[in-house]
A and B are shown apart, each in its own frame.
Chain A
């Protein structure tokens, strides 16, 4: 019988929230297509985590326990995932689109000669067949995709699905896979934590961020910083600004920079690539100023201004200063 395999992920000694999101998605697809749900929990000393996941949407959990799986040795994890797919007979394999998921999932798909769809925000099971929804062109367009023939591997955008909330009668089955460190051609060495920030955006109540629309590095002190100062807030930036060397990495807001949740976030000249949105979309209130009315930033903003930021921002700075008296 065809089935779904959830590849769960462990971070900081716990099953990640994103894995419970996969469980709720898998439950929905399972009921729409008559598949059974199984999961893989791989790590070192995972018995309790596997039990927990089995009871919270993981179905039959294959638990792979090995010293090498306690760290992110990608080739060790790939070997175990392959064994789990073979053991489970799954024809749909779900990963989260995390740094681990995007690293191994396409490789698993290629090894299976399987269809692969990444970073889905939704998967529908329509009349037994699967329809995938994801963004393209950095969030500017939605794409609908179908797959044909054989197994399917997909990665799902974290946060796009509500996590599994019920209770299930799962069970845990150990999965033994021989692994040897000297066979690994890609070896995990260490995690380097983010360095202490000179700019700690996580504590700012107001953040004024600038993007590629600023056009030049000197526009940050000229246009963005004055508004941030007037509001008593901090200055931030989007990735292209940091990539271009206009501002240091400590200013970067996004999934690969700082994830922020201020009371007010003002995005100036930022189009709203997904990785930026992941870093600021839970802000309490978002104002976006951008020339392009179709910019994805307007999808997460509460209030928008479609105009040249060089007209609006200096005028706003002046008005804020005047309002403060």
Chain B
């Protein structure tokens, strides 16, 4: 059994979000990056299948040099191989472009299962997983909080509204996007990190994947024209002053609401 796990490296959740000069995205130089949290749960889910009886876990990521760090971390956690799609020609791809790149990798790898995070913490699109499933020609489901396997089918609990779950059965090969909290994600051990240095990390270009000219900014159908802090029209009244002053204002307000 082969499991392909798609990882995205995103700005660290506590990174400063300064809008860059052209106003279309954030300043990404000199900030810390990490593996998208949703994707770490997908990787953990794959590693649990491996631990339980064997699976080859292949991690895939797209992006510049810094992405190799995310892939090394994944290898350190226990993934067997990594594929780094590193090519400036893929820069500026929209979700569909990203899905095309990953689908081309999936075509070369023929995994039995593709695991991804439910969405990325930066763009928040949640689009690539279903798109990748479509392009790879496999069934899918999203926002999984439980995955069980038996005889070529997967039984997945997917999160819906109000704390309820929808149970879905999928024929393999298939794709499942994973919600946070599905498991407790392991850390890479020192031994794992040492072993990771010897594990294969293949670098591929758009041309290697037969996608020259088909992905990247020029092919993107969706463009971000502007990012900015949300309008601050009706924000909260911010209390100023010492802790004592703030606390007494809060108590006053709670009394005014008739709750004290």
- Which residues of A line the B interface, CB within 8 A? 72, 74-75, 98-99, 102-107, 109-111, 113-119, 131, 134-150, 185-195, 205-206, 231, 239-240, 242-243, 245, 249, 252, 255-259, 263-264, 274, 284-288, 293-294, 296, 298-299, 301-307, 311-312, 315-316, 319-320, 323-324
Contact = CB atoms under 8 A, between A and B. Distances in A.
A188 B127 contact: no
B210 interface: no
A306 B239 CA distance: 8
Contacts of A294: 229
Given A99-B158, A302-B236, A186 B169 contact: yes
21 contacts: A74-B168, A99-B166, A102-B130, A104-B130, A118-B126, A141-B26, A147-B223, A148-B221, A185-B170, A186-B168, A189-B168, A190-B166, A190-B167, A191-B166, A258-B162, A299-B235, A303-B239, A304-B238, A312-B247, A319-B247, A323-B260
A208 B52 CA distance: 41
A75 B140 CA distance: 9
Interface size class of B (residues with CB under 8 A): 35 or more
Interface string B174-185: 100001110010
A286 B238 CA distance: 12
Contacts of A243: 180-181
B80 interface: no
Interface of B: 11, 17, 19, 26, 94-96, 99, 121-135, 138-143, 155, 157-171, 174, 179-181, 184, 221-232, 234-239, 243-244, 246-248, 250-251, 253-255, 257, 259-260
A299 B234 CA distance: 7
Contact of A137 (B124, B239, B244, B247): B124
Q: Which of A146, A249, A284, A293 counts the most B-chain CB atoms under 10 A from its CB?
A: A146
B227 A242 contact: no
Q: Which of A74, A114, A294 counts the most B-chain CB atoms under 10 A from its CB?
A: A74
A99 B26 contact: no
Contacts of B246: 305, 307, 312
B140 A107 contact: yes
A103 B254 contact: no
Given A285-B257, A316-B247, A106 B127 contact: yes
A301 B235 CA distance: 7
Nearest to B234: A299
Given A103-B158, A115-B94, 16 more contacts: A99-B160, A103-B143, A107-B131, A116-B94, A116-B96, A185-B174, A186-B168, A192-B157, A195-B163, A239-B180, A256-B179, A287-B253, A303-B236, A305-B250, A306-B238, A319-B248
Contact of B238 (A206, A239, A305): A305
Given A143-B227, A243-B181, A192 B236 contact: no
B contact patch SS: mixed
Contacts of A107: 130-131, 133-134, 140
B174 A113 contact: no
A274 B229 CA distance: 15
Contact of A231 (B95, B140, B224, B259): B259
Given A116-B127, A145-B222, A205-B259, A303 B250 contact: yes
B161 A98 contact: yes
Contacts of B124: 118-119, 134-138, 274
A188 B255 contact: no
Contact of A316 (B167, B180, B222, B250): B250
B222 A140 contact: no
A305 B181 contact: no
A109 B238 contact: no
Nearest to B134: A110
A304 B237 contact: yes
A111 B161 contact: no
A99 B166 CA distance: 10
B7 to A, nearest CB: 18
A75 B166 contact: no
Contact of A245 (B184, B223, B235): B184
A38 B205 CA distance: 43
A117 B184 contact: no
A195 to B, nearest CB: 8
B203 to A, nearest CB: 26
Q: Which of A135, A205, A305 counts the most B-chain CB atoms under 10 A from its CB?
A: A305
B61 to A, nearest CB: 20
Contact of B140 (A115, A186, A255, A296): A186
B243 A136 contact: no
Given A138-B121, A145-B224, A118 B127 contact: yes
